[in-house]
Amino acid sequence: MSPVRLNNTIPGVGVPQTGQPQRKPVGASKDFAGALQAQLARQGGVKLSAHAAKRLAERNVQFSENEQARLEAAVDRIESKGADKSLVLMDGLALVVSARNRVVITALDSASAKDGVFTNIDSAVII
């Protein structure tokens, strides 16, 4: 019969073994970082990329507070559906938006969008 040892611990059970740091699951930190980034982006609203700002300025387009709120609501809806690059059609404008980054990537008016082909998008919203 072998003697009973009271000092043995079972690896992975109870008190952590000395000399081995506790590790967090890899996915947990990414989920938190993603959630934090999304929350910070929501506080800042939707921003315009330099390209989109230039296109809107060329066409003398400015967003009113109401239009900005509608765009932000559309981006929230896109994000809630799990999409990222989306075409947003709003008042004669076509906006390609990154919901993840909350940035308008490019903007076209109805005259410029006559070709009607938009690539690299995963959703469309009409507001």
Sign of the four-CA dihedral 89, 94, 99, 104: negative
Q: How far apart are CA 41 and CA 44, in angstroms?
A: 5
Q: What is residue 96's predicted lDDT score, i.e. its pLDDT?
A: 95
Q: What is residue 124's predicted lDDT score, i.e. its pLDDT?
A: 94
Q: How far apart are CA 108 and CA 113, in angstroms?
A: 6
Q: How far apart are CA 74 and CA 4, in angstroms?
A: 67
Which amino acid, 24? K
Q: What is residue 24's predicted lDDT score, i.e. its pLDDT?
A: 55
Q: Classify residue 44 as exposed, middle or buried by CB count within 10 Å of its CB (0-12, 13-18, 19+).
A: exposed
Residue pair 72/45 in contact by the 8 Å Cβ criterion:
yes
Q: What is residue 112's predicted lDDT score, i.e. its pLDDT?
A: 79
Q: Classify residue 33 as exposed, middle or buried by CB count within 10 Å of its CB (0-12, 13-18, 19+).
A: exposed
Q: What global pTM score does this model have?
A: 0.64
> Which residues, listed in sequence order, are joined to residue 97 by a DSSP beta bridge?
86, 104
- Write out the chain's pLDDT in tens, 127 residues: 666 666 666 666 555 555 555 555 555 556 776 666 666 555 668 999 999 999 999 988 888 999 999 999 999 999 999 999 999 999 989 999 999 999 999 999 888 777 778 889 999 999 9
Q: What is residue 11's predicted lDDT score, i.e. its pLDDT?
A: 61
Q: What is residue 26's predicted lDDT score, i.e. its pLDDT?
A: 54
Q: What is residue 17's predicted lDDT score, i.e. its pLDDT?
A: 54
Q: Strand 85-90 relative to strand 123-126: parallel, antiparallel, unpaired? A: parallel
Q: What is residue 20's predicted lDDT score, i.e. its pLDDT?
A: 56
Backbone dihedral region for residue 12 (phi beyond 0: left; psi -120 to 50: alpha; all else: beta): left
